[in-house]
Amino acid sequence: MKKIGIMTTGGDCSGLNTAIQRIMTGARLRGWDVYGILDGTDGLCVNPPAVIKLDDMLLPIENARLAGSFLHNGRATALNFETAAETGRTESFNKQLRKSLRALQFDALILIGGNGSLSLAWANREIYRDLQLICIPKTIDMDIPLTDRTIGFDTAVQQLTTFCDQLMLTARSHHRWFVVQSMGRDCGMLALHAGVAAGASAILIPEIKFDINKLVEHIKKSNSDYGIIIVSEGITLRGHSGRPADMISRKLTAAGIVNRTAFPEHTQRAGDTTATDRILATRFADCALNAIDNGETYVMTVLECDSVHTIPLAEFVSSGDCVSDPKIPELMTSNAYVSPDNPLLNIAHNMGIYIGEQK
């Protein structure tokens, strides 16, 4: 009988509980014992390790649709890869993780995380040398290379779109524009998708240079006196500081355009998991369990042209745009961004949406 563990790390998102529940179900049908590690790596830094045995009573299927992680994703004040690096305790931290995993005697560990978590897993793969490591990509940012979708992205797009839909009604009532700041870090995928879905008048993302004067001109020449401008949190405006939405709002106000800012913040990570994300989580869970059956390790599940399969974790690292992590300088994280040939950019342009000066 196999003994497998599940761990969620990094930021939370919708779809994590679906993945946990489906892994639990599929593993138990195989006759395996399934344990959840609480609070990510934090749960491996206590003695004994903080784990719970998973069953239908703990996570019933009707709760699998809920946002967040039933297993939690860790506390900001706890010892983790970031705080260990900041305090010079990386070596002792890694030693503790290895010790805890040996004590737990897992045959395999399924790690559900974003690009930072997956990059850390590869960089510190020695920690997992005694078990099979299977990674499942999740993030609302969609900044993980080699997979067409990540768990949580579709729900986040829906959440942000719904937020903009509601703002559009009050915008129309008061003849004003709303500058909405989306999440996404340095990747504009979330802003781009939600902006097209909501019918935004402008979408500003980090990957595409924009001219603030051209944006003002675009708004003034539009056939409307209200609308939505979506600004990704990763954009910058030369000579200005502060939150991106505030910077854009000040420029619009100076040009005589009545506007307000709006910050959906962590509601983008919330919301009942959409059917699309539930299906993706289920497919990734099945793929991860099959990978364990096949004796695979250091692999990641991916969706590619509607096919779900695994790729070596090394390919994920080498194929992305690797940059130094701001909190762990020695760590190179693998990133994906909105490609210049992304079809949504052309579609947005054809629909009269200002998306910058790439045209």
Length of the chain (residues): 359
Q: Which residues pair with 128 in a beta bridge?
A: none
Q: How many CB atoms lie within 10 A of CB 179?
A: 26
R_g of the chain computed on alpha carbons: 22
| Calpha distance 330→214 (Å, rounded) | 40
Q: How many CB atoms lie within 10 A of CB 316?
A: 26
With left for phi above 0 and alpha for psi between -120 and 50, is residue 214 left, alpha or beta?
alpha
**CA angle at residue 158 from 118 to 121, to 5 degrees?**
5
**Quick check: bond before 48 cis, omega within 30?**
yes
- In terms of Cβ atoms closer than 10 Å to its own Cβ (0-12, 13-18, 19+), residue 93 is buried
Q: Are 103 and 49 in contact (CB under 8 A)?
A: yes
Residue 40: closest CA among 142, 114, 123, 151 = 114
Active site residue 141: yes
Q: Are 192 and 156 in contact (CB under 8 A)?
A: no
Which candidate in 12, 39, 42, 141 is catalytic? 141
Which residues are designated catalytic? 141
